[in-house]
Amino acid sequence: MALAMAFVTAPSLLLIDELSLGLSPMLVEQLLDSVRTMRDAGTSVLLVEQSVNVAVSVADRVYVMDSGSIRFSGSAVEVRDRPDLLWSIYLRHAAVGMGVEGDRAPTTVALAVPAVAAPADSSRDRVAALEVFEASVSFGGVNALEGVTLEAAPGEVVGVIGPNGAGKTTLFDVISGFTHAQRGRVALDGADVTSMAPAARSRLGLGRSFQDSRLFSGLSTHDTLAVALERFIDMGDPINAVLRLPVMVDTEAAVRLRVDELIELFGLQPFAGKFVSELSTGTRRLVDLATVVAHAPRIVLLDEPSSGIAQREVEAMADLLRRVQRHLFATFVVVEHDIAFVSELADRLVAFDRGSVIAEGSPSEVLARPEVVEAFLGRDAFARIGSGKALTALGAATEPGHSAKSEQ
Ligand SMILES: Nc1ncnc2c1ncn2[C@@H]1O[C@H](COP(=O)(O)OP(=O)(O)OP(=O)(O)O)[C@@H](O)[C@H]1O
Ligand SMILES: [Mg+2]
State pLDDT tens for residues 205-246: 999 988 777 788 889 999 999 888 876 666 666 666 666 666
Q: Is the pLDDT of residue 172 over 70?
A: yes
Taking residues 123-152, what's their average pLDDT? Answer: 88
Mean pLDDT of the 166-173 span: 95
Counting ligands in written order, the one closest to the CA of 144 is 1
The pLDDT mean for the chain works out to: 79
Please list the residues that pair with 331 across neighbouring strands.
299
Q: What is the pLDDT of residue 244?
A: 65
Helices assigned H by DSSP within 9-146? 25-40, 52-58, 76-80, 83-90
| Ligand 1 pocket list (CB less than 6 A) | 21-24, 139, 142, 144, 162, 164-170, 211
Q: How confident is the model at residue 20 (pLDDT cuts 50, 70, 90)?
A: confident
What is the reported pLDDT for 247?
63
Asked if residue 393 has pLDDT above 50, the reply is: no
- 159 pLDDT band, cuts 50/70/90, is very high
- The answer, yes or no, to whether residue 180 has pLDDT greater than 90, is yes
CATH number of 2-92+400-407: 3.40.50.300
Other CB atoms within a 10 A radius of the CB of residue 90 amount to: 23
Per-residue pLDDT of 341-381, as tens digits, reads: 999 899 999 999 999 999 999 999 999 898 898 888 876 66
Comparing 4-18, 92-106, 146-160, the range with the smallest average pLDDT is 92-106
Q: What is the DSSP string of 327-389?
A: HHT-EEEEE-S-HHHHHHH-SEEEEEETTEEEEEESHHHHHT-HHHHHHHH-TTHHHHH-HHH
pLDDT at 256 over 50: yes
* Most ligand 1 atoms within 8 A of CB, residue of 139, 148, 307, 338 to mutate: 139
Cβ neighbours, 10 Å, residue 38: 18
In angstroms, rounded to a whole number, what is the distance separating the alpha carbons of residues 325 and 190?
A: 21
- CATH architecture entry for 140-380: 3-Layer(aba) Sandwich (3.40)
Residue range 103-133, pLDDT digits in tens: 332 222 222 222 333 344 444 456 899 999 9
Domains 2-92+400-407 and 140-380 belong to one CATH topology: yes
97 — pLDDT class (breaks 50, 70, 90): very low
How far apart are alpha carbons 25 and 35 in whole angstroms?
15
Residue 304 CA: nearest ligand 1 atom is 27
Residue nearest to atom 7 of ligand 1 (CA): 139
Q: Where are the domains of the chain?
A: 2-92+400-407, 140-380
pLDDT band at residue 249 under the 50/70/90 scheme: low
281-339 pLDDT tens trace: 888 888 999 999 888 899 999 999 988 777 777 888 888 899 889 888 899 999 998 89
Choice between 132 and 87, residue whose per-residue pLDDT is larger: 132
